[in-house]
Amino acid sequence: MRHFDLTPLYRSTVGFDRLGSLLDTLNTYEGDAPAYPPYNIERVSENDYRISMAVAGFSDADLEIEVKEHTLSVRGEKRVEQENSTYLHRGIAARSFERRFQLADHVVVKGASLENGLLHVDLERVLPEAMKPRTIEITTKSDAPKSIGDKTADDKTIDSEAA
């Protein structure tokens, strides 16, 4: 894969650093990304999304979810407990992890739930009123407001009384 130097982009633009960092992340290999814990991203409706992560063995006290500067971070750290058992095979992963997701503009985290070993993080895209489509009413010439230069019969009586 080719690597691109985005340094000139950072030097000549203001306010586009987030775009540059997103382009930088495209240069990383998918093999370099951590594979634990596995997750799904699904579109629930037009503006609702859900991230589901398989976090078997973790309780809600072991998990931390944080949103900062368009980045959703999910961390899991298993609390060390006194173990009286001797394992013959230990296949359930209980190692610490941190998974980061880049959020688009206007995407907010609605909440999170933990059920049956799956952590569900619900997201919603909330468009500001200025970005929502709106219908503009079309007026005819007779409905148009009169300008200041137009004089009506009421204005003539006011002018004659002032004189």
- Could you tell me the pLDDT band of residue 141, with boundaries at 50, 70 and 90? confident
Domain that holds residue 6: 1-33
Residues 57 and 106 in one domain: yes
Residues 23 and 54 in one domain: no
Q: pTM of the entire structure?
A: 0.60
Question: 71-112: per-residue pLDDT in tens?
Answer: 899 999 987 665 677 888 877 777 889 999 888 888 889 999
Structural domain count, the chain: 2
User: Which contacts qualify for 128-134: CB closer than 8 Å, 24 or more apart?
Assistant: 131/106
Average per-residue pLDDT for the chain:
76
The reported pLDDT for the residue numbered 23 is 63
The reported pLDDT for the residue numbered 122 is 94
pLDDT (average), residues 47-75: 90
Residues 117 and 70 in one domain: yes
The reported pLDDT for the residue numbered 75 is 93
Domain assignment present for 24: yes
Residues 127 and 47 in one domain: yes
Residues 18 and 42 in one domain: no
Residues 16 and 92 in one domain: no
Residues 52 and 101 in one domain: yes
Domain assignment present for 40: yes
Count other Cβ atoms within 10 Å, centred on residue 121.
Answer: 21
The H or E element that residue 99 is part of is strand 97-102
